Amino acid sequence: MKQARILVILVLVVLMSLLAFVPAGAQDDAPPVLILPINQAQFLPGAIFDFRVEVHATALPENFAVTVNGTSAAEFFGAEGEAESWEFGGNVVRFNNEGNAAVAADFSPEALVGDYYNAQFGVVTVAMDGDALTAAIGGEAAALEAGADALTYTIVGGAADGLTAAFGLNADGEITGFDVAGVATFGVLAGDLPTPSSSLIWRNLIAPEAGEYVVEVTAGSTTQSVTWVVREALPGEARNVILFIADGMTVPMISAARAARGIDAGRPQNPLAMDGMEVRGLVSTSSVDSLMADSANTASALNTGHVGSVNATGVYADTSPSRLDDPRVETFAEMLKRLRGMSIGTITTSDWTDATPAAVFAHGRDRSDGSRAAFAVQPLDSGLLPEVIMGGGSRRLLPQSTEGSRRTDDRDVFAEYEAAGYTIVDSATALGETVSGDALPERLMGVFAPSDLNVWLDRNIYTENLGDFTDQPGLVDMTLAALDVLNQNENGFYLAVEAASVDKQFHPLDQERALSDLIEFDQAVEAAIAWAAENAPDTLIVVTSDHGHGYEVYGTVDVEEFNAATDYAGRIDAIGLYAAAGYPDYPDADGNGFPEWGDASVVFAGVVNNHGEYTEDFQVSTTPRVPSISDDAGNIVDNPDDDPNGILMSGNSPSNTGVHTLMDNPVFASGPGAEFFNVSAHQSEVFFGMAAAIGLDPSAEDGMVAAAPSSEKMATAGISLPASASGLGLLVAGVFLGLVLSGYRRNKTN
């Protein structure tokens, strides 16, 4: 039986179909507009920033204009914006052809039915009509004649006559679109169409003098405005700033850490160093796009004074395809390096490219694993080289050919930092030897683990959990080493110190590991206070957190009674409330300030208020906890290997870990400028408080580098296109495409 012809209508767009994508009467439409920086953005005068305007349309309307206080943006800033365009969102399965050829041999043509899309030509709908595949665009039709296999066809008729179309399969044998040789590749439209965006961006602008600035954008019938506030710079007397961030720390955690160190007749016996600081306040943490926040946008608020989006570091998040080209705002460290030549340090108990430490120097809208390799080289590529970098994260620095690397290139980043003048150490022993020698290094990089450092409890008690990296420094040693190196600069320094695993251990609901790291953090604060008193009394010290976790102690647990109980009711009876709670009896036999969690007979009844299903026995675990897991159906269930004798806690969250909460964060301060922090405000005020303490005024400092382009590039920000301009361009493109296709068809028949 003669093989049936399979027909597919695939007309690539010519004049009329191209023009169909131009909005008629564009200036009468009301496209959405995105202005970045956003409304209420606050700046220091002279700070450097990027400015983007997005119009969610295929082209900027002919009446498009951007003004600042009534003056065209180009004239106001002395620069013309750079035009960019892209698509975002939607649901298009991008074309690939990784499928198995054997699968293609038996592929059914009915599976080719569907909607296909690409940015240049729009939507093609393929349907079955009898035993043929049909479709139409712009009133023209073409047929595909079966080729060498079930996914390859020759187009017959229409503007693309004679071209080859090849449908693609993914590794699972699913259609991902089709490729028309030499012309276009279409992906499967699996949902909403992508949204087009036309944009202008101004990079490296300088914030003007103090005042309010109204940015107004006109696009078609849309008029949208935002107000920026440039604040007065304040005088200050500090020379140095140390910012301590206990990731995830809240007031209830501070209360628990203090009580665990001893309490008698209601009075703490071993107060924390934070308790004795001069000033305290509260700061809120919500992000631009969500009530809830993560470490990236919160740490960025602390370091820039700008309120960003969840996952964004040092940028205002736009919709562009690249995660690294979003509008940047200058960080505190960048200002201090640019204007005063101050030394910069960032140290952490996590990977040093993680969200909180990276906020000192990095820029990108996605703090996830895919951006961290880029963050690791941004100091090298930008020239902002912190004098001190310490933490984990060696896998971000190794070329991709090295086992364990998380890079996708062949850069040996360790070698690049060494060539840039860094002394590199990889152990606590090497760190101690380096900073105790006769001459301190000018630049110091300490990378002590492939990823995060181990927590205090595992480094000091449960050392069998350390694996191959048994010689990691603690936060106190890293802090003191950093201070000695940074203090060599007569211009002063800024040091950011993070205790990352307060957060990282409250995610898996591990109160003992988290509180131990909080106590270690407090000891680093105490060490810095003592160091500053002796070496640099003109140092402002600020202590805060980036966000909170919903942890609280609500009573105590009699360990012997709890463990002896044979049922749920007996375990519940072992929990003491109110007068029955008494006090926990965590010993501290060696007097190092850390509770000996495993030797207590009465312990905290402490819980996190959000979690998946899990069991809790309130006692220290000898291994890091994994309270909840996912079953084969994807449901979050109790991990039977974690606290098997515990009380069942029914899940109240779609996450299998604890998550961040809304509560305000504490902020403590001592030293010159500390009085600023007697506040209840958004945490972005911490940036302005640090700037005020050292009298930072970017608009007046001698080191300021002009960032605006030359006057030769000045032009109006209002882009005025004749009504026929965009159509004429498409007409030329359509005719050119027709000629190319016609020529191609003639060549195919010769």
Q: What percent of the chain has a predicted confidence (pLDDT) above 90?
A: 76
pLDDT attached to residue 650: 95
pLDDT(249) > 60: yes
Q: For residue 178, how far is the Cα from the chain centroid?
A: 34
Q: What percent of the chain has a predicted confidence (pLDDT) above 70?
A: 89
Asked if 3 contacts 146 with a C-beta cutoff of 8 angstroms, the reply is yes
Rounded-to-integer distance, Cα 41 and Cα 447, Å: 36
Give the Cα-Cα-Cα angle 718, 323, 185 (nearest 5 degrees).
85
Average pLDDT score over residue span 646-669: 96
Rounded-to-integer distance, Cα 293 and Cα 295, Å: 7
Instruction: Name which of 350, 644, 703 is nearest 492 in CA terms.
Output: 703
Average pLDDT score over residue span 444-462: 98
List of long-range contacts for 636-644, beta carbons under 8 Å, 24+ apart:
636/612, 637/612, 637/613, 638/613, 638/614, 639/614, 642/614, 642/615, 643/614, 643/615, 643/616, 643/617, 644/615
Which tokens sit at 301? 């608020």
Give the three-class secondary structure for 328.
strand
Asked if 363 contacts 375 with a C-beta cutoff of 8 angstroms, the reply is no
Q: What are φ and ψ of residue 334, in 5° steps?
A: -65, -40
Give me the residue label for tokens 């809790």: 616
Give the three-class secondary structure for 304.
helix
Cis peptide before 32 (omega within 30 of 0): no
Q: For residue 702, how far is the Cα from the chain centroid?
A: 33
Rounded-to-integer distance, Cα 143 and Cα 109, Å: 14
pLDDT in tens, 600-629: 999 999 999 999 999 999 999 999 999 999
Q: For residue 432, how far is the Cα from the chain centroid?
A: 33
Rounded-to-integer distance, Cα 199 and Cα 131, Å: 46
pLDDT in tens, 198-236: 999 999 999 999 999 999 999 999 999 999 999 999 999
Output the CA torsion sign for 132, 134, 139, 145. negative
pLDDT in tens, 491-533: 999 999 999 999 999 999 999 999 999 999 999 999 999 999 9
Average pLDDT score over residue span 158-167: 80
Is 436 buried (19+), middle (13-18) or exposed (0-12) by CB count in 10 A?
exposed
Asked if 127 contacts 133 with a C-beta cutoff of 8 angstroms, the reply is yes
DSSP codes of every residue in 178-208 = EEETTTEEEEEE-SSPPEEEEEEEEEEEE--
Instruction: Name which of 255, 498, 257 is nearest 359 in CA terms.
Output: 498
Average pLDDT score over residue span 41-53: 98
Asked if 186 contacts 140 with a C-beta cutoff of 8 angstroms, the reply is no
Is 2 buried (19+), middle (13-18) or exposed (0-12) by CB count in 10 A?
exposed
Rounded-to-integer distance, Cα 140 and Cα 388, Å: 65
Q: What is the pLDDT confidence band of residue 733, given thresholds at 50, 70 and 90?
A: very low
Rounded-to-integer distance, Cα 580 and Cα 573, Å: 11
Q: 692: left (phi > 0), else alpha (psi -120 to 50), else beta?
A: alpha
Rounded-to-integer distance, Cα 341 and Cα 344, Å: 9
pLDDT attached to residue 162: 82
pLDDT attached to residue 28: 52
Instruction: Name which of 322, 327, 324 is nearest 308 in CA terms.
Output: 327
pLDDT in tens, 48-62: 999 999 999 999 999
Distances (CA, A) of 462 to 113, 597, 598, 624, 646: 60, 12, 11, 10, 21
pLDDT attached to residue 127: 79
Rounded-to-integer distance, Cα 276 and Cα 272, Å: 7
pLDDT attached to residue 438: 85
Task: Read off the pTM.
Answer: 0.86
pLDDT(534) > 50: yes
Give the Cα-Cα-Cα angle 509, 512, 515 (nearest 5 degrees).
95
Q: What is the pLDDT confidence band of residue 132, given thresholds at 50, 70 and 90?
A: confident
Is 192 buried (19+), middle (13-18) or exposed (0-12) by CB count in 10 A?
exposed
Distances (CA, A) of 172 to 30, 190, 191: 42, 16, 20
Give me the residue label for tokens 């961290």: 372
Average pLDDT score over residue span 707-721: 31
pLDDT(688) > 80: yes
Distances (CA, A) of 527 to 93, 272, 479, 495, 530: 55, 12, 8, 14, 5
Average pLDDT score over residue span 628-657: 94
Average pLDDT score over residue span 3-28: 35
pLDDT attached to residue 729: 34
Q: What are φ and ψ of residue 350, in 5° steps?
A: -110, -175
Q: For residue 557, how far is the Cα from the chain centroid?
A: 39
Distances (CA, A) of 2 to 5, 156, 424: 9, 19, 73
Average pLDDT score over residue span 679-692: 98
pLDDT in tens, 297-353: 999 999 999 999 999 999 999 999 999 999 999 999 999 999 999 999 999 999 999
Instruction: Name which of 328, 343, 345, 358 is nearest 243 in CA terms.
Output: 345
The strand order across the sheet containing 575-576 reads 575-576, 551-558, 602-608
Which of 8-22, 63-77, 295-309, 476-490 bottoms out in mean pLDDT, i.e. has the lowest? 8-22
pLDDT attached to residue 183: 82
pLDDT attached to residue 135: 61
Q: For residue 660, how far is the Cα from the chain centroid?
A: 15
Is 714 buried (19+), middle (13-18) or exposed (0-12) by CB count in 10 A?
middle
pLDDT attached to residue 217: 98
Which tokens sit at 344? 């910069």
